Structure 1
Amino acid sequence: MGGTVDRISIRVTVADPARATAVETRILVDDRPVVAEVFTAGPAEPPEHLLGPDHRLHADVEPHEVRLAEADCTEGCCGALYVTIQRCGDQVVWRDWRNPDAAGLTLRPFTFDAAQYDTEIARAESDHSWEWHERTVARLVGQRLREDPELLGRWDCCPGWVEARPNDSGRVHVSYFHPRPPSAGEQPWLQFVAVLDVAAGDPAKAAGGVVSALCDGDPRRQGRLAGGTREAARQLGFRWPP
């Protein structure tokens, strides 16, 4: 690649509960907040998206595109920020920056030393020191639902996202799909979101309580219908909300 070798660092920031709900994955290149500098329509993606079990920031020989930020009003309305990540020998390259809502985005490629890059990504993925109690419980609930698909599968559902919000103390929000996620072809699907209370004390025990509250009875009857289409609801025997 020649030229300058950049340095990456990652910080998770939690919003003031009185002002916002976002938890952001702040990406710094040579101590500059490059994502925030070029995309102001919304927050950076949360750590569950970028630093979670899908390992989206891992660099492989095969290039892959990652969404780093999305507009508050959704990507389809006001855009998002994407970058392509690729491992090239002993370097990792971020290139081909794009925003679907803004033609001509100009941000130079960044080249990182692969060892420094891998170390920082691994550190960020394993660092949960920023979490508060409900956020830890949400992470453990999501992990449990992924590891044991039968918990929701017996109700013909599959897990989506799980989150705790800075301005919603004592609760977690759990999303799930019935009977399949939207990526499964043209078949009908619905998304539900349940808001569940979180007990104090040991996070693992509290997470078990949330999973039981969700899965011991039909989760489709306790969650709010939050995604899909009116026609899908009709086909699957549910009432589309007004």
Structure 2
Amino acid sequence: MKDEHSRITIRVSVPDAELSGTGTVETHIVVDGRPIVAEAFTEGSAEQPEYLLGPDRRLHADVEAHEVRLAEADCTEGCCGALYVTIERRGDEVIWRDWRNPDEPGLDLPALRFGAAQYDAEIIRAENDHSWEWTDRSVARLLRTRLSEQPDLLGRWDCHPGWVEARPNEPGRVFVSYFYPQRPGAADLWLQFVAVIALPTGDPEIVAAQVVRLLTDTNPRRQQWLAGGSDEAAQAFGFDWPVPR
């Protein structure tokens, strides 16, 4: 009997920053040999692996359906849209259905059905495959994990970790964001800091530990790393505003 299920393959692509001039790492989703995200959405890049394959496990299929953003317009979703799909597990099948682009109300893409065993195996393989990473990106991943698992590292300074990244077009550096004294969205005042840290050469585990010490052994709330918030918050917490560019 012919298998009517599609097969999913996931690959991560790292651009040649010298040729492309950009630093976007993309998660390419291929179904039965076709790059379905690239075919369905041309206004921007596919989501990065840290978003789709990271600890939030966004591509995992559960009985309770959930929606996942697979790509976003280069100019932001609010301007030119994004590509969403709903993922659901039904018995021994995983179904991708109800494709959506907020900028294209008439989007009509067929549902995809995968054998759950093949789907699960490929998602787990992709989540654990870090062979595409270069050293800076490995350091960023290790930092992100450490700051997430040990919130007291920045918490001792009343700071809360945000995003951490390394960019193909800015080699030898890692960017670490964090908020003080709370994340945006709260009624009270807040500031965002982005530490831009030059990385020494060496084993990513050792380098990540060195960066953690740099961030946490002394007060990380530094004027040169102030990146966002408001004039009111800056004045209240003793910083200069506007943020230097």
Write out per-residue CA displacement over residues 142-193 of structure 1, whole angstroms, 9 at most, x where no aligned residue.
111111101111111111111111111111111112222335x544433221
Listed as ranges, the gaps of 5+ residues in structure 1 are: none
Distance 1:189 1:233 in 2: 8
Q: Do the aligned partners of 1:195 and 1:223 also contact (CA within 8 Å) in 2?
A: no
Distance across 2 between alignment mates of 1:225 and 1:128: 31
The 1:187/1:112 distance shift into structure 2, 3 A limit, reads farther
Q: What residue number does 2:24 align with?
A: 22
Paired with 1:29 and 1:238, the residues of 2 have a C-alpha distance of 51
In the alignment, the residues of structure 2 paired with residue 237 and residue 75 of structure 1 have an alpha-carbon distance, to the nearest angstrom, of 35
**1:140 is aligned to 2:142:** yes
The structure 2 residue matched to 1:131, chosen from 130, 133, 143, is 133
Taking a change above 3 Å as real, the CA distance of residues 41 and 190 of structure 1, as seen in their structure-2 partners, is: farther
> What is the CA–CA distance in structure 2 between the aligned matches of 1:49 and 1:223, rounded to whole Å?
28
| Corresponding residue for residue 242 of structure 2 | 241
Residues 197, 210 of structure 1: 8 Å contact kept: no
TM-score by length of 2: 0.91
1:194 paired residue number: 195
User: Which residue number in structure 2 is paired with residue 161 of structure 1?
Assistant: 163
Tell me which amino acid in the other structure corresponds to 2:17.
P
Q: Is the Cα–Cα contact under 8 Å of residues 164 and 172 in structure 1 kept in the other structure?
A: yes
- In the alignment, the residues of structure 2 paired with residue 215 and residue 94 of structure 1 have an alpha-carbon distance, to the nearest angstrom, of 43
Q: Is the 8 A contact 2:223 2:239 kept in 1?
A: no
CA 234–47 in structure 1, closer or farther in 2 if over 3 Å, else same: same
Give the AA of the match of 2:156: R
1:157–1:180 CA contact under 8 A, matched in 2: yes
Q: TM-score, normalised by structure 1?
A: 0.92
Determine which structure has more spread, i.e. the larger CA radius of gyration: 2
Between stretches 25-34 and 224-233, larger displacement belongs to 224-233
**2:176 counterpart letter in structure 1:** V
SS at match of 1:102: coil
Counterpart-to-counterpart distance in 1, 2:39 and 2:235: 45
1:7 aligned residue: 7
- How far does residue 232 in structure 1 lie from its aligned partner after superposition? 4.6
For 1:208, the aligned partner's letter is: A
Identity percentage of aligned residues: 65
- Offset at residue 223 of structure 1 (A): 5.5
Give the counterpart letter for 1:67 in structure 2: R
User: Structure 2: 5+ residue runs without aligned partners?
Assistant: none
Runs of 4+ in 1 over 6 A off after TM superposition: none
What CA distance in whole angstroms lies between the structure 2 residues aligned with 1:54 and 1:179?
24
Q: Relative to structure 1, is the Cα distance of residues 38 and 233 closer, same or farther in structure 2, using a 3 angstrom cutoff?
A: farther
Give the counterpart letter for 2:209 in structure 1. G
| Kept in 2: contact 1:225–1:241 (CA 8 A) | no
Distance in 2, Cα, partners of 1:41 & 1:195: 29
Question: What is the total number of aligned residue pairs between the two structures?
Answer: 239
1:85-164 matched pairs, under 5 angstroms:
85-164=87-166
Secondary structure at the counterpart of residue 180 of structure 1: coil
